[in-house]
């Protein structure tokens, strides 16, 4: 998968995408990630990317010309152009799975008060939000989405990191995990996990996942968007 990012702050992207699973995906060629400074598509001496809003008000708006030039130079018909904004649909594991099937993503990271409306109308295929709060720019949301999508690319996870039976893949929270020691400061690992009875262990884990979800995230039990499990289908 190829991912291009347009931002005014490319320095932000050094760090989070240079470690762990994303770093490995980049090194093995699974992910071709390029972070671009929007100012590279300006032509004036001051590399102007923003201007005052027509109609007045505080703050600045990203000008259309650099964004159109950048998207036209980086993208083609296959490219999915995504604007990061609190006004977008809320990012989820289901959307991560959708994006992981695309060949080419191009993220536009908004800054200041936002982008000229003509960018949205003519360039943007999808608008995504990572949650109902306002950040200073779209860099962190882009990194969050790139991280979540990259680990879903076939081959990105090693055998020990399998993505198939974790939280959200079945629409429930994960069951509790334990490792050695079997007793720590008087706190014991549940006997069933030490029993070696795999059917019993599976049953216990399924029950714990349900209990934990009901207690901590009851909203997920009726959420048809967060998991892959088809909750309208009969369970049998
Ligand atoms: N939340 N999800 C978000 C954000 C910053 C002003 C528009 C978010 O995606 N993006 O808060 N972005 C704002 C800053 C211009 C983008």
88, 119, 141: residue to mutate for ligand 1 pocket, most atoms within 8 A of CB: 141
Instruction: Find the residues whose C-beta lies inside 6 A of ligand 1.
Output: 84-86, 110-111, 113-114, 129-131, 133-135, 137-138, 141
Percent of the chain with pLDDT over 70: 92
pLDDT at 147: 98
pLDDT at 160: 83
Contact 149, 104 (CB under 8 A): no
Q: How far is the CA of 86 from the centre of ligand 1 (A)?
A: 5
Question: For 58, phi and psi rounded to 5 degrees?
Answer: -75, 160
pLDDT in tens, 11-22: 999 999 999 999
pLDDT at 224: 59
Kindly report the pTM of this predicted structure: 0.94
Please give the average per-residue pLDDT across 118-147, as a whole number: 98
pLDDT at 63: 98
pLDDT in tens, 137-182: 999 999 999 999 999 999 999 988 876 546 676 899 999 999 999 9
């Amino acid at each position: 998968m190829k991912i291009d990012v347009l931002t005014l702050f490319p320095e932000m992207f050094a760090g989070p995408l240079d470690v762990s699973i994303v770093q490995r995906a980049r090194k093995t060629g699974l992910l071709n990630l390029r972070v671009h400074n929007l100012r590279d598509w300006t032509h004036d001496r001051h590399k102007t990317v923003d201007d005052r809003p027509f109609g007045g008000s505080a703050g600045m708006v990203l000008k259309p010309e650099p964004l159109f030039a950048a998207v036209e130079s980086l993208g083609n018909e296959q490219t999915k152009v995504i604007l990061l904004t609190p006004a977008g649909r809320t990012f989820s594991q289901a959307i991560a799975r959708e994006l992981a099937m695309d060949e080419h993503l191009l993220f536009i990271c908004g800054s200041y008060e936002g982008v000229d409306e003509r960018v949205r109308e003519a360039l943007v295929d999808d608008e995504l939000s990572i949650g109902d709060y306002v950040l200073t720019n779209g860099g962190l949301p882009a990194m969050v989405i790139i991280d979540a999508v990259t680990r879903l690319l076939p081959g990105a996870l090693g055998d020990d990191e399998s993505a198939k039976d974790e939280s959200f893949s079945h629409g429930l929270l994960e069951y509790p995990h334990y490792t050695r020691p079997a007793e720590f400061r008087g706190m014991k690992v549940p006997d069933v996990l030490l029993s070696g009875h795999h059917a019993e262990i599976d049953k216990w884990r399924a029950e714990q996942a349900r209990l934990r979800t009901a207690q901590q995230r009851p909203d997920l039990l009726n959420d048809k968007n967060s998991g892959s499990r088809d909750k309208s289908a009969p369970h049998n």
